[in-house]
Structure 1
């Protein structure tokens, strides 16, 4: 029988309400749970957000280091976005996308086309990043079926990648432990090496590493056959894989190889899109590439409403329209495709980005990266890397071996616990701490964030020394 609760519908829940914790442990299944605690765990309770800050269940004010999940780009408690949600809900809360449409989605599609590189001109809206990637891949399959190439369906993905949690999108993931206990469409995916310069073979220059990655890409196509490979998908910066910034020019070279072999290039900008690197889209403005499709989510509404999408090249659509199968049906859609509230919020969010947030991001990003780079002075830190307002502090047992696991696979959680006590929420990823704060962060707030992170790492080093598991 369900537990009785003191909480009523529509009632403001106080952050310190112990009843919330009990309800979660009794009835809530959290994302990415372990079997030993599934359905019986309560995570850190967050009560409020304001600007770059959140308040936890005890009332402690914390810098929101990960911006929720890479997404609170314009900050918490933006009244402009809340008002748009209310106004749109009062005007039109929903319409079926199967045989009707709404004005905000059409206008948002136009704005996105204006900002996208190359001939990317049409957007299919989804509910988030996983469904955006799923849509792009299903479109690739449909495209090749219509063009009479049913065997051209394999997908090239890379080590360290994260592309989602739905069945097909999750099959592309290349992070440690993501797939240990989970099934996937392995027969459709061909994995390549991670483009991580920090973990390149010992003695190899970054330029030689880039050549190695490109040669591996060509060799894989030659081995598997271009006639069987439908798409390559890659994040411009591998986000959840540890903010892996690829070698200069690598993505351009991969794009050219895809073009030469009639392989669709899908740029997964679920994280890097809508401001994280200082532009609406990073593919063209930062990396100089024009993909066949771009997937996006997260920052498109700054996390205020679930929305994602895939932008599709005009060339691909024109080829379908010219095909010999005009009645072929792209049998794909979602109940909340082109949701009027989500699209209205995205339009207002895009206004905020273009009216100053993007420029501020480009201005403050070098300071953000430079201040975090000072943490490499600490012996536990192997590398600090990043681009724009996303960065990773990777901890290692020693810098020579770069081994993260001899040390402690949960060292990131240890640092996070100390930082939480000091006033900063970080995102721990095994031996890494990922930072991607709201784009409105100031220099003074960057200084606060880095000072707390430095102290959190220092306290963790003291703990590890006392336990005798590390002597750095």
Structure 2
């Protein structure tokens, strides 16, 4: 069905998109994407666009995989659905076993959900359930970080710490407490890296002490704060935070919704990249490369074994979803993992990711570029028009201009105000990285020239 672009855009205005501005309802003219192939998308005008953000950090194996479509089709024809409450299916069982085999340490059991938000929400509810069962009902408070993002359910959104996402919505502020993001960009000039690391770890320990260790249940942290701007904490941060958590009987959730399934060159990054075995890992996005929605959390056997107390009543975890362990999603997850392993996409992500990080540093040559940061196939280019200024309107303006110029030249970026975040599919080649970076470089330059022309940026 090939409707004219204008007709689709008119129909699309009846679709309330995530993060929609209700003041613009009825007036949006979004790009209509009609096709995907490899690292590319094609719009309704036939323009080819590099999928710079890989959808939303998620189309890891790339678009248009026929064998993925076949696996989904075969499972739909074999069995599209049965109740996860009372029945088992081969795909869900096999995928749970495969996840356990990839998980670090003793994280050998998987709870399958529908997306990253429900994975985080379910993991947090499990922590509450765990502490209730072991007779510590007051141990409920959650610590997370400013600039972190953990989802859109009431609980996972409360845990998120992106200030600009908090307008006109309610959150569980009595339950959730935020500490500063470990952002090296904001390290005082006179402070050493070692002292900055000490300060970041102390932020967590001081918050636990302030709230009371008997009241704090869990610390939840993305290994890299993704939509907060690809914030890479100082080396050793996660290991020391895990040690602090264990010192105070606080659980540690590593939110790998973005960083798992190859984004940093490993199926899970917690141990392989950051040297930790957390109590719980959440995952989604690249779990199925977004071909079918799915999420999961993996949990330590050490925690599960505590439910084997014969002196207490049965421990029923009354949490789940109609589509938990959906057989079609599980079949997609199995095929996705097979492709990643067979085509050595983790290895490609490590090799090409290193080249990507090297090439994107060239944007430092542009005067409005404040910071370039990232790891693996994750990167952020942060721009500012006035040094040290906090001007939200101008932040959005520069981001939108960069986005428009880049898209006109064949690249989709994901502007988060003044930050361009990138996470291309794991299949990307070095030559394609060159294309991506060259377009982004030119797009930022053109946006800067716009700002010089209209007087919003005066110093070159």
Match of 1:6 in 2: none
Contact 2:264 2:350 in 1 (8 A): yes
Partner Cα separation in structure 1 for residue 153 and residue 455 of structure 2: 42
CA contact (8 A) 1:384 1:392 kept: yes
CA distance in 2, matches of 1:331, 1:163: 22
Structure 1 runs of 4+ with >6 Å offset: none
Alpha-carbon separation, structure 2, partners of 1:319 and 1:255: 20
Q: How does 1:129-144 map to 2 (within 5 A)?
A: 129-144=116-131
- Give me the whole-angstrom Cα distance separating, in 2, the residues matched to 1:286 and 1:419: 32
Aligned residues: 458
* CA distance in structure 2 between the partners assigned to 1:323 and 1:65 by the alignment: 53
Query: Is 1:410–2:397 an aligned residue pair?
Result: yes
2:434 alignment counterpart: 447
In 2 relative to 1, CA 183–323 (structure 1 residues): closer, same or farther, beyond 3 Å? farther
Q: Is the 8 A contact 2:5 2:32 kept in 1?
A: no
Match of 1:7 in 2: none
Is 1:419 matched up with 2:406? yes
Unaligned runs of 5+ in 2: none
1:177-256 alignment, distance < 5 Å: 177-256=164-243
Tell me if 1:106 matches 2:87: no
Map of 1:374 onto structure 2: 362
Matched residue, 1:3: none
Residue range with higher mean Cα deviation, 181-190 or 231-240: 181-190
Mapping of residues 51-450 of structure 1, within 5 Å:
51-322=38-309, 324-355=311-342, 356-398=344-386, 401=388, 403=390, 405=392, 407-450=394-437
1:215 to partner: Cα distance:
1.4
Counterpart CA distance in 2 for 1:411 and 1:34 is 19
Q: 1:232 aligns to what SS in structure 2?
A: strand
CA distance in 2, matches of 1:167, 1:463: 40
Three-state SS of the structure 1 residue aligned to 2:24 is coil
Q: Does the aligned pair in 1 maintain the 2:307–2:315 contact within 8 Å?
A: no
Across the aligned residues of Structure 1 and Structure 2, the Cα RMSD in angstroms comes to 1.4
Q: Which moved more, 1:128-137 or 1:208-217?
A: 208-217
Contact 2:386 2:457 in 1 (8 A): no
User: In 2 relative to 1, CA 13–154 (structure 1 residues): closer, same or farther, beyond 3 Å?
Assistant: farther
Q: Check whether the contact 1:396–1:403 (CA below 8 A) recurs between aligned residues.
A: no
| 1:125-172: CA deviation from partner (whole Å, max 9, x where unpaired) | 001000000000000010011111110000000011000011000001
SS state of the match for residue 163, structure 2?
A: coil
> What is the distance in 1 between the residues matched to 2:202 and 2:114?
37
Q: Deviations over 1:289-315 (max 9, x none)?
A: 000000000001101000001001101
Question: How far 1:431 sits from its partner (Å)?
Answer: 0.6
Shift in CA distance, 205/73, structure 1 to aligned 2, threshold 3 Å: same
Distance 1:406 1:35, change over 3 A: closer
TM-score (norm 2): 0.97
Mark the runs of 5 or more structure 1 residues left unpaired by the alignment.
Answer: 1-11
Q: Tell me how far 1:407 sits from its aligned partner.
A: 4.5
Distance 2:131 2:105 in 1: 21
CA contact (8 A) 1:395 1:404 kept: no
Q: 1:218-277 CA deviation, whole Å, 9 max, x = no partner? A: 111111111100100000000000000000001000001111111110000000010100
Task: Please tell me whether the aligned partners of residues 30 and 39 of structure 1 are also in contact (alpha carbons under 8 angstroms).
Answer: no
Contact 1:47 1:56 in 2 (8 A): yes
Report the Cα offset of residue 217 of structure 1.
1.4
